[in-house]
Structure 1
C-alpha cells in the first residue's frame, strides 16, 4: 500500500513538471520566467536526419502567458562557421525573407511559426530567436547551438579537457630489466601446445633467447599536453551606420568591447552577405569609413569582435545586420 502511494505521488509530480515550462539547462529555451512572455525553438523538428544543401524546416513558438494584447518586437538570426541560404519564415500564407522578420507583434494565443533554412557546409551554427519589449528594456531569448553534418543535425556540446602533465625527472626512477633466458620446450610441452594450435607443415623448434638488460632513461624535460584554449570574445553592437545617398562611402561606429584585439566589419548590398557582394574590413578602433561603395545603393552592415592569441584569431558572434541609413 505504501509503495502504491509513493508511485502515485511520483506520477503526479512528473505530470506537473511536464506541464510547466522550465529553463532548459544550457539551452536558453524558455528565457526568463519573470518576463511577460516566453519563447522557444522546437527541438524535435530541428534535430535529426538532414541532407546537407537542402532546406531544413523547424518551428519557433511564442507563449504569451498573461501578456495577451501586449506589444513586443521579435528577432531571429543564424550565425556560424559558414553563411546559410534560403532563411525564411512562414506568415500570412506565404514564405517571407527573414530580413522582414524583425517587426512589432501583439501577443494573442500560443503561436507556433514555421521557419526553414539551407545549410551549405558542415560546421557549428547558432540559432537565436528573441522577443523584446517595445522600449527594448527587457528581452527573452531562445537559443540553439547545433552541429550540422552531411546527414544529421545534433545539439552542440562543448567538452573541456584537463591538461595532462608527464612526470619530470624527479618522479621517475631508472628501471633495469634483469636478463631472462627462455629454455627450449620439452617434448611433452611441445605436444601439449600442438594440440591447441592449428597444425603446421614443419615442426617448431624453440631456441634459447636472452634478453639484454634495458635501462629506461628518465626524461630531462617535463612534457605538458595543453588542451585547446577556449577563448570567449565579447559581442559588439552597431551604434551608427550612415551614408550620403549620392556618396560612395559610409561611416560605421561600433560599441567598444573590452580586452579584444580588433573588430571585423562587413558591408554588402546583399542582406545575406554573399561573398562577391560584400566588403570586409578589419579595424583596431571602434569607427571606420568604408569607401568604394556605389551611390544610391542600399547597403547592410554587420560586425564582430576578435581576439588574437599567438597566430590564431578567435571571433565573436556577428551583430544583427543593420541597414545603412541615408543622410543628407
Structure 2
C-alpha cells in the first residue's frame, strides 16, 4: 500500500480509498509498494501513453469552472523515468464510463505542470499517478490555478529527432511569439539522457527596442560537457500575474560516440551521410546549405519540401568530399514550417571514413 506523508490518512492505493485534493493543497506521496486494481483501469483507453504498474488515486472537484494546473514536483525516484499521470472523468472503477482528459509520461524528474482546460464546477475528476515503467518515486502533487515548474511535453530521443554533431559547441535559436512578449526572460535547460533533472545553463532576458517593443529572435551558444545524448529546451519564465511558462523549442543532440552509432539492425553507409530531416514538420520548406567548415566554401545548396516518409530525401553522397580530404561538413538547415515562424539549425557532421578500395 502507499502512504501519504502530507497528512495521516488512509493509503490511496485502491480507488475506493482515493485521496480528495483541495485546491492549492500540496501533498507528498510515493509509488513504492503500490499495486494495480486491474478491474479499475483499461490501458486501451490510453494507448501507449501508460502501462500501469504501481498506481494510486486522487480526486479533485473544482468549485469554479475554468483552467487548472496539476503541479508535480520534488520527485525522488529509483530510476530516471519519474511518474505518469492520467486525469479522467467517470464512475470510479467502471472503465466503460471513463473519459480521458490527459495522459502524461514525464520521462524525467523535473518539476512540471499539466494544463487542464475547461474543467466544470462541481464535476469530480479522478487523478491516477503511476511510476513510469515500474519506477519507484516520491513526489509532490498540487492542483492549482497557478502553474509551477516547466510545461510537460516530453519527447523521447528517437532516431528521427536526434541531431548528430561532431562539435561540442551547439547553437540554439528560437522565436518568441507576440503572445508571450511580456515574459521576463527565456530559460535554456539542458539534460544528458542519463541525468535525473534538467539544469538551467542560460537565462536570456527578453530584449526590447527604444519603443518598448520586444525582439522576437534569439540565439545562444552552449558547450556540451562531453559525449552523450542531450535534451535542450527553451522555456519562458512566468511574469507576475502573467501566463504560465511555455516551451518555445526542444532539441536532442547526439555528440561523440552517440552521434556515430548506426541504428540497430543497419549497416553504416560509408558513401553518404543522412541529414535528420524527419525531425522537421511534413511539407515544411527546407533550405539546406553545406559548407567546408575550414574555409566556409559552399559545397551544396538545396531547397526542398520535407517528406518525412521518404528516408532517402536526407541522404547526401559524400565521395567527392572524402576524395577532397574533408573529414567534416557544416550544415545549416532553415525550416519554414506550414505554421509558425522559421528557424535555423546548424550542425557539424563527421564524414564517414571512406570504404576500403579493393
State TM-score, norm by structure 2. 0.28
Query: Which is greater in Rg?
Result: 1
